[in-house]
Amino acid sequence: MQFTFEEAARSENVDLGASDWLKIGQERVDGFAEVTEDRQWIHIDREKAATGPFGGTIAHGYLVLSLLPRLFAEVFEIRDASMTVNYGLDKVRFIQPVPADGEVRLVARLVSSTPRGDRILIRIRGDIEMRRGESSGKRAVVAETLFLAAPPE
């Protein structure tokens, strides 16, 4: 959903909709493991993970969380802001694991906009849902994301 800076400044409790589904392949999981040096077997050892508690490898929780900017780009934009930056996260919870080769999407709601000088602090609740087989549409990660938007120049 697109907003002007002024519209965003006056908005609260607005459903932003859902992003498209994004596949989290094993290659992405392996790459994240290398970059972060988090090589726990539940993420990268397919044989051992197949007999583990999740029945296969799972994506890192922080990998799923790191996809928020990519997913937000599909559901939220302030088209005339001179700058919009991540300001932080509140209330992050990893509800359930996302299996490797599963898919995720973001369902978002703009909760509030608060003035900060000439800028606005925007709080958006995001539910990252996952699907793979019969686990379709279940929440995997819940987070409140904060954005700081600057007015048009």
pLDDT digits (tens, 9 = 90+) for 70-81: 999 999 999 999
Please answer whether residues 22 and 71 qualify as being in contact, where contact means their C-beta atoms are separated by less than 8 angstroms.
yes
- Residue at 51 is within a domain: no
- Residue at 140 is within a domain: yes
- Which helix (H) or strand (E) covers residue 23, if one does? strand 22-24
Q: What is the pLDDT of residue 121?
A: 98
Whether residue 3 has pLDDT greater than 90? yes
- Residue at 131 is within a domain: yes
- Residue at 43 is within a domain: no
Question: What is the number of domains present in the chain?
Answer: 1
Per-residue exposure over 114-145, b if at least 16 CB sit within 10 Å of its own CB, e if not:
eeeeebbebbbbbbbbbbbeeeeeeebbebbb
Average pLDDT over residues 13-17: 98
- Residue at 48 is within a domain: no
Q: Which domain holds residue 73?
A: 2-24+59-150
Please report, for the domain that includes residue 17, its CATH number.
3.10.129.10
Please answer whether residues 125 and 109 qualify as being in contact, where contact means their C-beta atoms are separated by less than 8 angstroms.
yes
Please answer whether residues 59 and 33 qualify as being in contact, where contact means their C-beta atoms are separated by less than 8 angstroms.
no
HSE value, Cβ hemisphere, 13 Å, CA-based, for 30: 7
Whole-angstrom Cα distance, residue 113 to residue 7? 10
DSSP label of 132: S
Split at pLDDT 50, 70, 90, the class of 132 is confident
- Residue at 54 is within a domain: no
- Interstrand relation of 2-3 and 77-78 (parallel, antiparallel or unpaired): parallel
Q: What is the pLDDT of residue 137?
A: 74
- Residue at 65 is within a domain: yes
- Residue at 46 is within a domain: no
Global confidence as pTM: 0.91
Average pLDDT over residues 86-101: 95
Task: Please state the separation of Cα 76 from the chain's center in Å.
Answer: 12
